[in-house]
Amino acid sequence: MTFTRITVDAERMGGLPCVRDLRFPVASVVAMVADRMTVEEILGEHPDLEAEDVAECLRYAALAVQERELPLRQPA
């Protein structure tokens, strides 16, 4: 999978994956979606972002956790 909207620069934002060199971390976009913001709400609050940026951030996050074990709490 190729990402054209995600950039990583060791000199920018500590090397965090960001949207199109905007100093806007992918993690921030994913967190907004997790907080149940709609794409329209995200774009309304952050006019530099585009709908495809949000979609690509989610694809990037999905690939980042694919086939990795994550520490999950066990049910009590």
Query: How distant is the alpha carbon of residue 58 from its chain centre?
Result: 6
Indicate whether 75 belongs to any domain: no
Residue 35 included in any domain: yes
Return the pLDDT at 12. Answer: 93
Asked if residue 43 is part of any domain, the answer here is: yes
Q: Report the distance separating Cα 65 and Cα 50, nearest Å.
A: 24
Domain assignment of residue 12, yes or no? yes
For 37, the domain range is 6-65
pLDDT digits (tens, 9 = 90+) for 30-76: 999 999 999 999 999 999 999 999 999 999 999 988 866 666 676 66
Q: What is the CATH number of the domain that holds 40?
A: 1.10.10.10
**Number of folded domains that form the chain:** 1
CA torsion 41-46-52-55 (nearest 10°) is -60
70, part of any domain: no
Taking the CB of residue 46, how many other CB atoms lie within 10 A of it? Answer: 17
Residue 48 lies in a domain: yes
Q: Report the alpha-carbon distance of residue 35 to residue 66 in Å, rounded.
A: 21
Q: Does a structural domain hold residue 33? A: yes
